Amino acid sequence: MTKLKIRPANINDVEAIAAVIAPFVDDVISSDEGRERFKPHMLKDIFQRPLIHYFVAEMNGEIVGNLAYIEPSHVMHYFLKAEYQGQGYGRQMWSFLEHEILKNDPDIITVNSSFFALEIYKKFGFEVASESTKNWGIQYIPMKKHLSHPF
């Protein structure tokens, strides 16, 4: 398996980021408001927010995945093109993202998971925190991962 190159995203990556997310939008939205949130012009706003850290995963110079978190420890985006799933690339991305989040020394990592990604997050040690919720036109399941700190 080839190792992904994961780097900080920039505003020039927005179209490619939107293209990675597009096939999954119907899995997470509950209204047109939600669909709008994943369009390039909305994604550009992310780069204006200092507490959001956004990364892209590349294979042979092509963006095949994207991941982001909001400080200190909320996973915001975690998408990988379907043709790269089930081959260990998602785990590479998660290892990278978790390492970045752990720099903030949190006790817990949170994520609002789609139904599609629920089992993936469980594999990474997350548990369901509450029942399915709808906000901002997006339907999700709040999840959390407790972190143990050595003494």
> Which pTM value belongs to this model?
0.92
Write out pLDDT tens, residues 22-64: 999 988 888 888 888 888 888 999 988 999 999 999 999 999 9
Name, in order, each residue with C-beta under 8 angstroms of 63's C-beta and a sequence gap of 6 or more.
13, 16, 17, 19, 20, 56, 57
Residue 5, beta-bridge partner list: 58
Write out pLDDT tens, residues 112-135: 999 989 999 999 999 999 999 988
User: In terms of pLDDT, which residue wins out, 73 or 42?
Assistant: 73
The average confidence (pLDDT) of the chain is: 93
